[in-house]
Structure 1
Amino acid sequence: MNSDRPRLVATGVRKIYRTGSVAVTALDDLDLVVRHGELVAVMGPSGSGKTTLLNCLSGLDGIDGGRVEIDGHDLFAMSDAARTEHRARTMGFVFQSFNLIPVFSAVENVELPLLLVGTQPREARRRALAMLDRVGLAHRVEHRPSEMSGGEQQRVTIARALAGRPAIVWADEPTGNLDSAMADQVMDLLCALNRDEGQTIVLVTHDAAIGARVPRLIRMRDGRLVDDFRQRVPATDSAATDSVSDMSRD
């Protein structure tokens, strides 16, 4: 479902961390284009700049040079407040540590970001329930994070990221806290959302098995892109294709 239209255009992006008189270049004049409907993985050794790249391209962190556009909107031409609002309305985030509110149920965790951007409560609840059903958790909507497995918690975070119908989802080590079986389930879900619904996803991972499952793989080293190639991903068999709906049986 890819198109030729760019969703993200980054040009000459620089990020420098300074400690006293020491300056470390984390991103070095980096250029990147991600098109509508792409699923992209960013890999590289520790300290290569993967998470910094994600944080800068999403506007979570500032940059020291260059330009980042999402659907033609220059993130860093906006005020901090406008960029925060734009991010809340157009981006979804999936983190390694889940970042769920422990005293909230699954449905409350998913609907909260919608309420914060002004969605009416009834509509927020409807969309939250629909997304939890989409990720195979219709039977767990009233459960709190402590009552769910790690894989279930990560699926709640994916539902939360998608409930706002974002232009792009950023995923930072989304399988990092999961065992291999749960990691496979989460990747089945992300791949299905990309394949079936055209969701644009950029994920950071250190796991070569995860990198092998995406159509486009980017490798970083020392703050630069050193490889950017498309790869043939294994054909998905019928069992894997149905894995998202089958998750409700876990």
Structure 2
Amino acid sequence: MEDMNADQGLLVATGVRKVYRTGSVEVTALLDLDLVVRHGEMVAVMGPSGSGKTTLLNCLSGLDDIDAGRVEVDGHDLFAMSDATRTEHRAHTMGFVFQAFNLIPVFSAVENVELPLLLVGTQPREARRRALEMLDRVGLGHRVEHRPSELSGGEQQRVTIARALAGRPAIVWADEPTGNLDSAMADQVMDLLCELNQDEGQTIVLVTHDSAIGARVPRLIRMHDGQLVDDVRQTVTARTPIPDAPLG
């Protein structure tokens, strides 16, 4: 496991415990978990169904409460904050990419990307500029006025990535970001995430069940029964793109 004293890191989780309760039944989803993620890292979290992967992401991002422990993101203790302050902190420092694209059907691609910026007080002209810039960055500069129903699955996921990045977050959380895509589109989305990490230093933590996806990430964490059971650095060989492959 990571040396907790080596670097304070962007994300520092210590002794995190999460318990789900249904009546008199208790299920421990996370058990005294420690984790450090440093600035600029790309980390994949893998494990069997029910091992706690998504719970880990939700607790470390502050989407779910925890029962014990401490989580710091960018130097701030998430669970020492009020709910409102934590929500505001999350909006300014985190981006999210989910398996379900969660795009607003009646909004165009650019409107979907700029909406979170507007909600945190960005001026409309600046929000539109940044949304267009990010859509161009993910290869959708020619599709900005299209609605989700007019986009392929791969294109919709690219919109969600642009939306996650438009706020210039310290960390991006991705929960099964290729889960709804075929293998060709999944490769393209992973190419983009890896490029953002390698070229721009974007910190990314992603949950995946796909071993091929896990093999492309420099640091791989495995979970079992709510605990981290393996944490390894990998030598990643760049994938050779298919020439002239259309964007998904």
Q: What's the TM-score bracket when you normalise by the shorter of the two chains?
A: over 0.9
Distance of 2:144 and 2:172 partners within structure 1: 22
Distance verdict in 2 for CA 1:176–1:164, change over 3 Å: same
1:185 corresponds to which residue? 188
- Would you say 1:67 and 2:59 are equivalent positions? no
Distance of 1:37 and 1:212 partners within structure 2: 18
Distance verdict in 2 for CA 1:100–1:37, change over 3 Å: same
Distance of 2:168 and 2:217 partners within structure 1: 21
Give the superposition deviation at 1:249.
5.5
Distance of 2:136 and 2:223 partners within structure 1: 36
Distance of 1:198 and 1:172 partners within structure 2: 20
- Would you say 1:201 and 2:204 are equivalent positions? yes
- 2:95 paired residue among 92, 99, 109: 92
Matches within 5 A, 1:1-250: 6-237=9-240, 239=241
Confirm or deny: 8 A CA contact 1:54 1:170 kept in the other structure: yes
Give the TM-score normalised by the residue count of structure 2: 0.95
CA deviation profile, 1:98-144 (whole Å, cap 9, x unmatched): 00000000000000000000000000000000000000000000000
Counterpart residue type for residue 221 of structure 1? H
Give the superposition deviation at 1:220.
0.1
Distance of 2:160 and 2:61 partners within structure 1: 17
Instruction: Provide the secondary structure at the position in 2 that maps to 1:140.
Output: coil
Instruction: Provide the secondary structure at the position in 2 that maps to 1:157.
Output: helix
Give the superposition deviation at 1:167.
0.3
Confirm or deny: 8 A CA contact 2:218 2:235 kept in the other structure: yes
Distance of 1:79 and 1:36 partners within structure 2: 25
Cα RMSD, aligned residues only: 1.6
Distance of 1:98 and 1:29 partners within structure 2: 31
Instruction: Please identify which structure carries the higher helix content.
Output: 1
Query: Where in structure 1 do 4 or more consecutive aligned residues deviate above 6 Å?
Result: none
Confirm or deny: 8 A CA contact 2:155 2:247 kept in the other structure: no
Counterpart residue type for residue 74 of structure 2? D
CA deviation profile, 1:149-179 (whole Å, cap 9, x unmatched): 0000000000000000000000000000000
Give the superposition deviation at 1:71.
1.3
Counterpart residue type for residue 43 of structure 2? V
Give the superposition deviation at 1:235.
3.3
CA deviation profile, 1:33-92 (whole Å, cap 9, x unmatched): 000000000000000000000000000000000000011100000000000000011100
